[in-house]
Amino acid sequence: MWKKNEASRAKARDFLERNTERPCPIHTLKGVVLWPRMYNAFTLIELLIVTALLCVISLGLYSTFNSGVKIWQRLNKEVPEQDLYIFFDKFASDLRNSLKFKDINFSGTENRLDFATIVNSPGMSKNTVGSVSYYYDPKAEAVYKEEKDFACVYAGGRGAVKEMLKNIKSLEFQYYSYDKEKKEYIWQGEWFKEGLPLAVWLQVEITDGDKIFKFSKTVNIPVAG
């Protein structure tokens, strides 16, 4: 019985040895046979390749993130020129719609302009004749627009005031008309005559940090003359 068990164990060992993969032996010059050990680890070359791949991936992710941050900063940065162009468009639209109205005179100085035009009346919920004023406040360094409907003008009340521009160093209006005495067209720094000037010239000095920029625009008045 003992011999049978021993024979079974021997057959099992022979079967395992025949069916188990073994590393190839290394024959040295002296005839010594070496069996290499099996290690479950990374080689130096594999580690270097993985490190290089991680560096490339990290560089790509950083470049993408950095570009996204720069785009976000540009989109959220205040651009004075954009606000100024929008202001010029609104100012030109109001001035081109100006009209002659006996109860609202066209008057202007170097830093204030008042004229009659079509405005939106909150009380009447529609457009009506009213007055618009553009003026510069040197203390606040801002340009404001005051809008009144006819009822507010008649009552002598204060209209709706809106800040149009900020960080303004100076604002100047000039008025273009024909001088009958001199028989020539001239620019003037104020307007208190009857009627409307032929055009209005506007110059704005805007500050952006340590820099100062000048912008100007001339608006023709269609109903003048």
With beta carbons less than 8 A apart as the criterion, state whether 146 and 133 touch. Answer: yes
Please report the pLDDT score of residue 198 as a whole number.
93
Chain centroid to CA 148: 32
Work out the average pLDDT over 191-217.
Answer: 89
**Mean pLDDT across the chain:** 81
**Smallest Cα–Cα separation from 195: which of 130, 100, 129?**
100
Give 99-124 pLDDT, tens digit per residue: 888 888 899 999 999 999 988 887 77
**C-alpha to C-alpha distances, 6 to 3, 15, 193, nearest whole angstrom:** 5, 14, 131
pLDDT surpasses 50 at 2:
no
Please report the pLDDT score of residue 41 as a whole number.
61
- Per-residue H/E/C for 21-67: CCCCCEECCCCCEECCCCCCCCCHHHHHHHHHHHHHHHHHHHHHHHH
Give 135-190 pLDDT, tens digit per residue: 999 999 999 999 998 888 888 888 889 999 988 999 999 999 998 888 899 999 99
Task: Kindly state the DSSP code that residue 100 receives in the 8-state scheme.
Answer: -
pLDDT surpasses 70 at 39:
no
The ranges assigned to domains in the chain are: 80-220
pLDDT surpasses 70 at 17:
no
- Cα separation of 95 and 97, whole Å? 5
